[in-house]
Structure 1
Amino acid sequence: MAMIRSQAAKHASIVGAMKAITGTSNARASFARGRCVRGTYIPSDRADEVTTSQSFTRPSRVLARFSVDGNLKGSEMGNLVLRGFSFRLGGGDHRSDILTQSAPIHYARKVDQMVEFLNMRRPRASGGPDPVKMRAFSAAHPETRHQADYVAAHPLPPSFADTTYWAVHAFPATNANGERQFIKFKVAPVVGDAALPGGEVKATSSDALDDDLQKRIGASDIRFSLMALLGRPDDPVLDVTIRWPNEDSREAVRLGTIVITAIEPDETCDGSVFDPGNLADGIGYPPDEIFAARRAAYAISLARRG
């Protein structure tokens, strides 16, 4: 019982720290700025090679949300601000919610480390977080720099529609032959990632990203390939701060195509959460600590929204 209370306190601390960092109270704890959209999902004829989950093997409507992380009151954007793309496939007993972001790795490996990482970034009365403590923490836990280093080395494109997104966890998937392997989800724009050279990002504000999204949807639809990167027996599945070996060049299967067709009122997405615990049979829960913590934290965050 004491262990359960301790875990619950850690999960509540994660939400509290995120809200302090982003300057939110009743809004989402992370990726608070965003735009709700809708569309359709078209499965490929190879989806059942990876999973029997009807979320991925059957056509369905899509509810999704593009978002940016960071302080809700800030307007400036840049290469160091993560973007998010959460989407819901299927419905009823066959619903799956997948949360992806514009970096393929997370900033913490263990829950205790995640709590400390976030608390270190809480703003002080005098302003932002303490840079001396942050440097000391990074030196003691170098894996917490992996995400920031990746983001700094990979300039973002000027549009949500041109961004590639990853789910950082390894999901156990069971295919039509009963074979089980770990996969990672990758969401890639059909037209290709349009990252700019030299680290230049023309979309300098969340409003600019939002305006671009509305213009693109007004002119046409936006299409993403939903990919499953296929795991190997020796891949690390418990550490979300590192990538699989040769991850960018390894075998992948296109599960289907996500077609975004319209802007949806924000209230449609704000009425619930994209819950990482919603996974239809055929896709299992990742075994890492961070996934379990995120499931709990999302429930707490929803309960605290006004």
Structure 2
Amino acid sequence: MYIKKSHLPAFSLATILSLSTLFASAAETGVTAGQVVSALEGTFGVHAGERRNHIKGSCAAGEFIGAPVARDYTRSALFSGKPLPVIARFSLAGGNPKVPDTAKSARGMALEFRLPDGKLQHMTMLNTPMFGAATPQTFFDDIVSKKPDPVTGKPDPEKIKAFRASHPDSLPQADYLDKNNPPVSWANSSYFGIHTFKFVNQANKTTLVRWRFVPQDGEKRLSDDELKSSPPNFLEQRLIDRVKQGSIRWDMILTIGAPGDPENNPTLSWPSNRKEVKIGTLTIASVTSQKGAECERINFDPLVMADGIEPTNDPILLFRSPAYAISFGKRLSGK
């Protein structure tokens, strides 16, 4: 099968070196990427040619203009000050293609930035400030706990309760989702990078950072009444209608880490008083259903990084790449 060059990974040297730890890290956790993908299939079913996670989504396209102030921290071409093409995908967590848009689960925004000379930068984010697992084992156990009971056809609440009781690293995200209703639109949500990354500037100085994209339309959540009365599928059409009124924009906000801040645990938040800098603006100018659209064919591997941005040793971040690769391979083969 022919794959466009733009859909192939373009790793920096630092990322390639980090990849050497991927499978060793997976082995240490006691769960493999293949087992996680199989668990997703066991819980949500196999939908041939589709993603195993974040299966329901919409495609979008636009541009990103990075602010030169970011070059104090990184030499990435992402922050040249020039417009860069972006392919985006908005999605709901899980492998159920019929999950209602009112589900109290995480929402995703994945971005592929098209840099000069055919290079790429991926950012794969969630609308929660933290992830729901500190290790791949916790993520695996979470998926298994949600497998539908063959009698009721629904997850067993007691199994989910037992999972949370035995996996305290899952609680911060679960608590956040419980206390915060889903957004009224993809355009009215912030999206967080979840992990800690390394920015490296021209002087080879490394700065630990986290980032998020904040909507210029403002954050708006469904009310409890709207949560009960909204139709199961409204997010895509609402985003299409919104972009007809004009482009949608998010500010990219960089948070600068300090000594002692959690570096390799995406379930732990940083103190709220950390320095923050606006380092760019994302503009979405078109939206479409994902079937047959460009984002459908992209594997939004978060370790696709260009020079100037590097991964930390976060076990979840490193584990995502081989898991995405297995799922992507199945999609390409039509499985």
- TM-score norm. by structure 2 comes to 0.83
Give the drift of 1:162: 0.7
Q: Measured at CA, do residues 206 and 94 of structure 1 come closer, stay the same or move farther in structure 2, by a change above 3 Å?
A: farther
Q: Secondary structure at the match of 2:270?
A: coil
Cα drift, residue 56 of structure 1: 3.4
Residue matched to 2:304 = 278
> How large is the Cα RMSD of the aligned pairs?
2.4
| CA apart distance, 1:161 | 0.3
Indicate whether 1:116 and 2:138 are aligned. Answer: no
Counterpart-to-counterpart distance in 2, 1:298 and 1:290: 12
- Structure-to-structure mapping, 1:37-186, within 5 angstroms: 37-57=60-80, 58-78=82-102, 80-91=104-115, 92=117, 94-126=119-151, 127-186=153-212
Compute the displacement of 1:211 (Å): 0.9
Report the 3-state secondary structure (helix = DSSP H, G, I; strand = E; otherwise coil) of the residue aligned with 1:77: coil
1:194 is the counterpart of 2:220 = yes
Q: Which runs of 5+ in 1 are unaligned?
A: none
Q: How far off is 1:298 after superposition?
A: 0.4
> For the structure 1 residues 281 and 114, does the alpha-carbon distance in structure 2 shift closer, same or farther, using more than 3 Å as the test?
same
Identity score, percent: 28
Distance across 2 between alignment mates of 1:199 and 1:180: 47
Indicate the SS of the match to 2:324. helix
Bigger shift: residues 229-238 or 257-266: 257-266
Change (3 A) 1:3 1:22: same
CA drift of 1:72 comes to: 2.5
- Secondary structure class of the residue paired with 1:85: strand
Counterpart residue number, 2:252: 226
Deviation at 1:200, TM superposition (A): 4.6
| Distance verdict in 2 for CA 1:123–1:202, change over 3 Å | closer
Deviates more, 1:118-127 or 1:146-155: 118-127
Query: Following the alignment from structure 1 to structure 2, what is the Cα–Cα distance between the partners of residues 262 and 157?
Result: 20
Aligned partner of 2:4 in structure 1 is none
Number of residue equivalences: 303
In structure 2, relative to structure 1, the CA distance for the partners of 1:142 and 1:89 (3 Å cut) is: same
| 8 A Cα contact 1:162 1:189, kept in partner | yes
Letter in 1 for 2:51: R
Task: For 2:274 and 2:242, locate their aligned partners in 1 and report how far apart those are by CA, in whole Å.
Answer: 31
Q: Residue 35 and residue 278 in structure 1: after superposition, are their counterparts in 2 closer, same or farther (change >3 A)?
A: same
Alignment partner of 1:18: what SS?
helix
Contact 2:301/2:324 (<8 A) preserved: yes
After TM superposition, list the pairs within 5 Å mapping 1:206-285 onto structure 2.
207-246=233-272, 249-264=273-288, 266=290, 267=292, 268-285=294-311
Moved more, 159-168 or 125-134: 125-134
Change (3 A) 1:135 1:261: same
Selected match of 1:287 from 289, 313, 333: 313
